[in-house]
Amino acid sequence: MRAYWYTKEGSSLRQIQPQLTFVRILIVISCSDSSNSLKMSGYNRQGNRSATGKSDNRIKHTNAGSRSDWKPNPSKNDRCLDSASGSQNNKSSVKDAASDVKNIKPIPISLDDDGSSKKVKQLGDKSETDGDDNGRVNHPVFDICPKKVSSVIKLKAPLHVMNREKRNQSKQAMKGQNIIILGPGMVLMKGYISSVDQISIVKTCRELGISDGGFYQPGYSGGTKLHLQMMCLGKNWDPESQPAYTELRAFDKSKPPKIPEKFDEMVKKAIKDSNEFIRGNTGSSDEWKVFPCISPDICIVNFYTKSGRLGLHQDKDESDTSLKKGLPVVSFSIGDSAEFLYGETRSIDEADKVTLESGDVLIFGGKSRLIYHGVTSIVPDSAPTSLMEATDMRAGRLNLTFRVY
């Protein structure tokens, strides 16, 4: 067992515990195949080192804020916006959640040359920029699993690649729990979502994403866009609307699809498993309170292509009660890995970094509920080949964050 601890003097969790001296412990439970031993490792925040041990020199200052603070910023350093761009284990085994999705009205799609489905949603016979008589505005359909209708024959991944993935998957399953406590109230469950469930989530999001209320590229009235595609489930979140959460999507008046029951079950199970781990491994310290069980009523689904990113921000548009109680945000990562930053301030230079891989679940609540976080880059071609084969998902990363309003 290896253990490193470090103390951050004088730093504070803004808005939650201003005077808090933040003792941060990173515990990596990594039960080796033979010994099931507890490993703890850590990192030096002041040295701007990542949890993977690499320093990050690429990242420069930027401005960021809450999701609603993502206002257009003329600074070239704003990594959030620009104006040009339009392990498996079997902890939660679910049947294909797509079969639970009711009342989906898929929108007919035609494919562009690059296989992307940028056909404008047909809300009447209007073009993308037109609105209908009710002020509904059309937008392009974004299909995360476009079937490539082309003469290029899709080759299967080489056998040795497939075999390596299979070996890695069964190793992960044997390892059992692989949970990292990134800070008080911030837990990362590595490879938590089984391959079967990942496939199921992609398929469900694909169906929802091409239907009413599906994926679109959020932006601002000035034309600036976020570097991702987004759809909301449960309630709609909009970067510009006041309040940020509404029942209908403002620009096309669509109602966000419901959160599929299976997603809800998976969130609850992840919290339960995380709590069991915390109880079993962190003793009785106040720092390590378990998460309350939640029934999320909001899920924001983001899809990042390889150039996707998201500036440092806080998730603070939820209700005061939800924020005060520190009700956790539960985040699922699927597909390509992401370089994820998190920290107590909005300074990128002071933020810590961790790589979120396909199947990882990140939970942040309690004292970390208002942690600043963002995605600096997507690691190209890092998604499991088997997932891509099974879903035909386009290259990129799917992220689902569940919250309680």
Ligand X SMILES: O=C(O)CCC(=O)C(=O)O
- How crowded is the C-beta side of 385, counted as CA atoms within 13 Å? 14
CB of 363 vs ligand X, minimal distance in Å? 12
CB of 183 vs ligand X, minimal distance in Å? 16
CB of 401 vs Fe ion, minimal distance in Å? 6
Which residue lies nearest ligand X, judged by its C-beta?
Answer: 399
Single residue of 78, 165, 273, 315 touching Fe ion by CB under 5 A: 315
CB of 106 vs ligand X, minimal distance in Å? 24
Name the nearest CA neighbour of 273 among 361, 356, 369: 361
Q: Which stretch binds Fe ion (CB under 5 A): 108-116, 202-210, 233-241, 308-316?
A: 308-316
CB of 362 vs ligand X, minimal distance in Å? 7
By a kind-dependent CB cut-off of 5 to 8 A, residue 399 interacts, out of Fe ion, ligand X, none, with ligand X
CB of 359 vs ligand X, minimal distance in Å? 13
CB of 371 vs Fe ion, minimal distance in Å? 9
143 binds Fe ion (CB under 5 A): no
By a kind-dependent CB cut-off of 5 to 8 A, residue 300 interacts, out of ligand X, Fe ion, none, with ligand X
CB of 374 vs ligand X, minimal distance in Å? 7
First and final C-alpha spacing in the chain: 40
Alpha-carbon distance of 101 to 259, in angstroms, equals 9
User: Where do contacts with ligand X occur on this chain (CB under 6 A)?
Assistant: 67, 300, 302, 310, 315, 331, 338, 340, 356, 373, 375, 399, 401
By a kind-dependent CB cut-off of 5 to 8 A, residue 193 interacts, out of Fe ion, ligand X, none, with none
Based on CB atoms, which residue is closest to Fe ion, 315 or 352? 315
Based on CB atoms, which residue is closest to ligand X, 136 or 227? 227
Q: Which stretch binds Fe ion (CB under 5 A): 173-181, 240-248, 313-321, 375-383?
A: 313-321
Q: Which stretch binds Fe ion (CB under 5 A): 78-86, 153-161, 212-220, 307-315?
A: 307-315
Query: 3 to each of 27, 40, 362, how far by Cα in Å?
Result: 8, 4, 22
**Residues 378, 266, 314, 6: what is their CA dihedral angle, to the nearest 10 degrees?**
-80
Alpha-carbon distance of 337 to 343, in angstroms, equals 19
Q: Which stretch binds Fe ion (CB under 5 A): 106-114, 256-264, 268-276, 315-323?
A: 315-323
Based on CB atoms, which residue is closest to ligand X, 88 or 399? 399
Based on CB atoms, which residue is closest to ligand X, 169 or 337? 337
Based on CB atoms, which residue is closest to ligand X, 92 or 399? 399
Which residue lies nearest Fe ion, judged by its C-beta?
Answer: 315
CB of 331 vs Fe ion, minimal distance in Å? 8
Q: How many residues bind Fe ion (CB under 5 A)?
A: 1
By a kind-dependent CB cut-off of 5 to 8 A, residue 302 interacts, out of ligand X, Fe ion, none, with ligand X
318 binds Fe ion (CB under 5 A): no
Name the site residues for Fe ion (rule: CB under 5 A): 315
